């Protein structure tokens, strides 16, 4: 049971470098999400994708771009990394129904440090 | 705007005792869902339990139960018979139910409570 797979698990970047965080889910979910987790802040939504071909901004989208490559994959890109983007990044997916009671399933996270 | 408040940054409980983790929420929508997640030191987010705003009964999942008081806008997690493996961060989250499509009813998280179980 792979569930939600994120790569890489750890990454160190220099300020100004770019990189893409990868996420793939094998649960046939329509919706996918990217969160960041900072100490004492809980999880905050960066971007989400309601379905293949659509993406929308969340609470903290500045400095990030996303691509919903297909139903399985949702990537997060940092074009010019900044120290403020040092964080743990989580990808999640969920099914969507009219009651909206389906839990989001999370990957194991990517720990990203920007020097 | 929707908001989740967890007022206990950290808590201790003796092994085999019960513990309650507090969560209050603020929303003007009549339809919403409340979720609890566990984050052990290894870092993954584990879904524990769900409560819908229209559910008549408190949710239960094994040793986890939810004390849902709608009028007070609280959804406290109760863990019975605590185990050493329950030591972790616990997050309360809320999701809006959006009728007719549009937003996916994204989760709003509280800042979490760190639970430590003492042997």
Contact B45 A31 (CB under 8 A): no
B105 inside 8 A of chain A by CB: yes
pLDDT greater than 80 at residue A60: yes
User: Nearest 5 degrees, angle CA A98-CA A100-CA A105?
Assistant: 135
Cα A64 → chain centroid: 10
Q: What's residue A34's pLDDT? A: 96
Give A103's DSSP letter: P
* Minimal CA separation from B110 to chain A, in Å: 6
Q: What is the pLDDT of residue B94?
A: 92
Contacts of A50 in chain B (CB under 8 A): 103-104
70-99 in chain B: CB under 8 A from chain A: 91, 93, 95-99
**Averaged pLDDT, B13-39:** 94
Mean pLDDT across the stretch B31-57? 92
- Using left for φ > 0, alpha for ψ between -120 and 50, and beta otherwise, residue B84 falls in alpha
* Chain centroid offset of residue B42 CA: 19
Per-residue confidence (pLDDT) for residue A102, from 0 to 100: 80
Report the pLDDT value the prediction gives residue B62, as an integer from 0 to 100: 96
Q: With bands split at pLDDT 50, 70 and 90, how would you rate the model's confidence at A95?
A: confident
C-alpha to C-alpha distances, A48 to B3, B25, B96, nearest whole angstrom: 19, 22, 15
Integer CA distances (angstroms), B110 to A51, A75, A84, B22, B116, in order: 26, 25, 21, 11, 18
A14: pLDDT strictly greater than 80: yes
Is the pLDDT confidence value at A38 over 70? yes
Average pLDDT, chain B: 91
Residue A55 pLDDT exceeds 80: yes
Distances in Å between the alpha carbon of A15 and those of A84, A88, A101, B43? Answer: 10, 17, 40, 25
The three-state (H, E, C) secondary structure of chain B, written as one string: CCEEECCCCEEEEECCCCEEECCEEECCCCCEEEEEEEECCCCCCEEEEEEECCCCCCCEECCEEEEEECCCCEEEEEECCCCHHHCEEEEEEEEECCCCCCCCCCEEECCCEEEEEEC
- Report CA-CA distances (Å) from A57 to A42, A44, A45, A67, B6: 18, 11, 8, 12, 25
Contact A100 B44 (CB under 8 A): no
Q: What's the rounded Cα separation, in Å, for the pair B102 and A47?
A: 15
């Amino acid at each position: 049971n792979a569930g939600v797979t994120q790569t890489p698990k750890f990454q160190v970047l220099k300020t100004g470098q770019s990189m893409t965080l990868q996420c793939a889910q094998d649960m046939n979910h329509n919706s996918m999400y990217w969160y960041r987790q900072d100490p004492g802040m809980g999880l905050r939504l960066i971007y989400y994708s309601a379905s293949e071909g659509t993406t929308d901004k969340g609470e903290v989208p500045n400095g990030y771009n996303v691509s919903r490559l297909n139903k399985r994959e949702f990537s997060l890109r940092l074009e010019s990394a900044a120290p403020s983007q040092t964080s743990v990044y989580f990808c999640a997916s969920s099914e969507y129904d009219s009651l909206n009671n389906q839990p989001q399933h999370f990957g194991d996270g990517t720990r990203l440090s920007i020097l | 705007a929707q908001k989740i408040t967890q007022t206990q940054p950290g808590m201790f409980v003796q092994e085999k005792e019960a513990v309650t983790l507090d969560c209050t929420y603020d929303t003007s929508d009549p339809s919403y869902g409340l979720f609890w997640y566990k984050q052990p030191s290894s870092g993954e987010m584990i879904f524990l339990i769900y409560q819908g705003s229209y559910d008549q009964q408190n949710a239960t999942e094994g040793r986890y139960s939810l004390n849902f008081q709608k009028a007070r806008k609280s959804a406290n997690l109760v863990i019975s018979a605590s185990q050493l493996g329950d030591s972790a961060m616990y997050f309360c989250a809320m999701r809006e139910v959006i009728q007719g499509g549009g937003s996916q009813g994204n989760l709003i998280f509280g800042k979490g409570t760190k639970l430590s179980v003492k042997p």
